[in-house]
Amino acid sequence: MPKQFLAALFACLSLASLNAQTPLRVAAAADLEPVLPPILVQFESSTGIHAEATYQSSATLTAQIENGAPFDVFLSADLGFPKRLIDAGLADGKAVANGMDVTHENFPITYARGTLVLWSRKDAQLPPPSLDLLRSPALKRLAIANPDRAPYGRAAVAALHRLDLYDALKPRLVTAENIAQAAQFVDSANADAGLISLTSALTPRLSADGSYFVIPRDLYPPIEQGAVIVSNTKQRAAAHKLLDFLLSPAVQAELAKSGLTPVK
Amino acid sequence: MDWQAFALSLRLATVTTAILLAIAVPLAALIVLGRGRWLAAVEALATLPMVLPPTVLGFFLLVLLGPRTAFGRGIAAMLGHPLAFSFDGLVVGSVIYSLPFAVQPLVAGFASVDTALVDAARLLGAGPVRLVSSILLPLARRSLLAAVVLSFLHTIGEFGVVLMLGGDIPGATRTLSIVLYDQVENFDYAAAGHTALLLLGLSALALAAVYATSQKRGRAGSA
């Protein structure tokens, strides 16, 4: 009896996996978590391709892909990590299908640019976010993302250096694992302000709790977000369709609303 | 090897283990010697930190200890500084996080002590403190040792809570496990390998030494 049951179960499971179309697996940088889900829904309704995203830091996703994680597309929060995969022969940025973009095979496809903002809670006993807030002695703790690997953390440190504030603020910096955690440090009022992504600052939760100031773009190198196709993919056509879709004017406009700067 | 982080991890584990013993010995004695159904609830509560993912526990602590709660403001007023992103904050987090690893071995050890001995001591007029210090602890030495070793090592290896509550400040909250994680995430696999190997090697030596001494004592005691 148990044997028959197991056999039946096994049959069901294998049928289920035969019937279900393998989804397009997208490895997506954590800053896309507030942005990507509705875009993937639209993608499915316009192409019939079901895509599933995994959100992690770009560094973690890179290490996973290096070790054979079954992703088809990697949407990084920078260009360095996807370039690393290309150089290792594990991914490529081959030209997008319908000739919309002329891209170099050996370079990631830039699909958006990130914006760095200074964010603080509205009820903090501090002046509203501005460059002056960064100079204020009332700022006791400033949260940033890990500058060793989080692109926004790198941008934050570059901006502080450009403002000649890095050495003065260094003892007051608290480093979070990623942008989302940096935002949590500030939203829980444990840090006074944070240098985070505009995508985070525009989420319903954070826009209700606080306000942001856009850090002038000339203060940090552009946060270019690059995409690559994982070489082992069995769904290259679908992967190209997704990149095309991301670069289409409608979706680029949507990215702009969520806090990413369009590249088109 | 980041020796500053290594020293910090040792200090955190030592302070945490000392505080945990001060809490866990009376708590375990209460659970074993006490009567009443509420004790089951106490034991359940003391085991609960194992259920939550450590980063989530760290996040709850970050919010609870932060200036947005009366509790957090009270503690900050008492200490003169907020708990988050400080060594003291890590101690609080570690004590909660490792509590089950101190309480569970002690409860098991105390419960395995012959009740006839406990009853006899009670009849002879031993109070709860005497019961614990003269009967339970000496007879449950191995469990006490297990509680110390598990609490200490669990705190050395603690990661999620520190990540959430610490803010990665060198000398204050950057523990060895954070350094190790950073090395892995930064693709510095050689450094990560060295750090991990050294940590594992030192731990193996220390553990072997502890267990060797305790076995000798065990034989001497029973002879």
Nearest CA in chain A to B59: A184
Residue B118 pLDDT class (50, 70, 90 cuts)? very high
Q: Does A177 touch chain B (CB under 8 A)?
A: yes
Least confident of A190-194, A257-261, B179-183, B214-218: B214-218
Q: How far apart are CA A133 and CA A160, in angstroms?
A: 12
Q: What is the pLDDT of residue A97?
A: 46
Contact A174 B169 (CB under 8 A): yes
Give residue A106's pLDDT: 81
Quick check: A184 and B62 CB within 8 A?
Answer: yes
Return the pLDDT at A264.
72
- Res A9: pLDDT: 62
d(CA B45, CA B20): 15
* ipTM over cut 0.85: no
Percent of chain B with pLDDT over 90: 75
Minimal C-alpha gap between A214 and chain B (Å): 24
The C-alpha R_g of chain A, in whole angstroms, comes to 21
What is the per-residue pLDDT across A53-62, written as a single tens digit (0 to 9) for each?
A: 999 888 889 9
**Residue A99 pLDDT more than 60?**
no
Query: Which two structure tokens, joined as six digits, stand for A238?
Result: 């679908």
Smallest Cα–Cα separation from B159: which of B93, B60, B203, B104?
A: B93
| A60 contacts B62? CB cut-off 8 A | no
Cβ–Cβ < 8 Å for B29, B110? yes
DSSP secondary structure code for residue A175 in this structure? E
Return the pLDDT at B220.
47
20-59 in chain B: CB under 8 A from chain A? 59
Spatial neighbors of B195 by CB under 8 A, at least 6 apart, are B1, B2, B176, B179, B180, B183
Q: Give the pLDDT score at B223.
A: 36
Could you read off the pLDDT of A101-127 as tens digits, one per residue? 545 678 899 999 999 999 999 998 898
Architecture of domain B3-215 in CATH? Orthogonal Bundle (1.10)
CB contacts, 8 Å: A125 with chain B: none
B174: nearest CA partner in chain A: A175
pLDDT digits (tens, 9 = 90+) for B174-213: 999 999 998 988 888 999 999 999 999 989 998 998 888 8
Identify all chain B residues contacting A188, using CB atoms and an 8 Å cutoff. Answer: 62-63, 66, 68, 84
| Nearest-Cα residue of chain A relative to residue B159 | A177
All residues at 6 or more sequence positions from A227 whose CB lies less than 8 Å from its CB, including other chains: A73, A74, A75, A76, A82, A93, A108, A109, A110, A111, A243, A246
Q: Do A255 and A75 meet the contact criterion of CB atoms below 8 Å apart?
A: no
The three-class DSSP label of residue B120 is: helix
pLDDT tens digit string along A139-156? 999 999 999 988 999 999
Q: What confidence tier does B11 reach under pLDDT thresholds 50, 70, 90?
A: very high
CB of B88 within 8 Å of any CB in chain A? no
Rounded to an integer, the average pLDDT of B56-72 is 91
Reply yes or no on whether the pLDDT at A16 is more than 60: no
Q: Does position B217 have pLDDT exceeding 70, yes or no?
A: no
Ordered by where they begin, the domains of chain A are: 2-113+223-258 (3.40.190.10), 116-214 (3.40.190.10)
Contact B168 A148 (CB under 8 A): no
Tell me the pLDDT tens digit for each residue of A182-229. 999 999 999 999 999 999 999 999 999 999 999 999 999 999 999 999
Sorting pLDDT into bands at 50, 70 and 90, what band is B130?
very high
